[in-house]
Amino acid sequence: MKVSSDQRTSPLASRLEGAKLRSNKIRIDVADGPDAGLSADLPGPEARVGTAKNCEFVLTDPTVSRLHVVLRIEGDALRVIDPGSQNGTAVDGTRVRDAFAKPDSAIVIGRTTRVRLFDRRNVI
């Protein structure tokens, strides 16, 4: 079926609106769970989070997998990748496997640990 030019979808905007990342640094603050109060500034552009000692951000929460989530800065966005954790990952209340988050998104890892990604120095 041929689609005429007046039936094609037009883009809403030429670029995404909202906060943008300025650097590859990832700030993680744990707000809830056994590791509440733990925080780190990680160099990025990628950080592995889990209970394994080889993760850049190590948690002790028993509901967190050895490699629970990978955080990756891609351009102006923060990508959240759950490589198959046992208890799942949620971004701003939505369970995800691979999603993009805002710089101030709340990420739930496992059942109890709420990780906050936040660093105003990295946001325009």
- Rounded to whole angstroms, the Cα distance separating 101 from 49 reads 15
Q: How far is CA 42 from the centre of its chain?
A: 13
Output the pLDDT for position 44: 83
Q: Which residues of the chain have a pLDDT value below 50?
A: 21, 119-124
Asked if 119 contacts 27 with a C-beta cutoff of 8 angstroms, the reply is: yes
Output the pLDDT for position 73: 87
- Rounded to whole angstroms, the Cα distance separating 43 from 46 reads 8
Asked if 82 contacts 68 with a C-beta cutoff of 8 angstroms, the reply is: yes
Asked if 114 contacts 107 with a C-beta cutoff of 8 angstroms, the reply is: yes
Output the pLDDT for position 86: 95
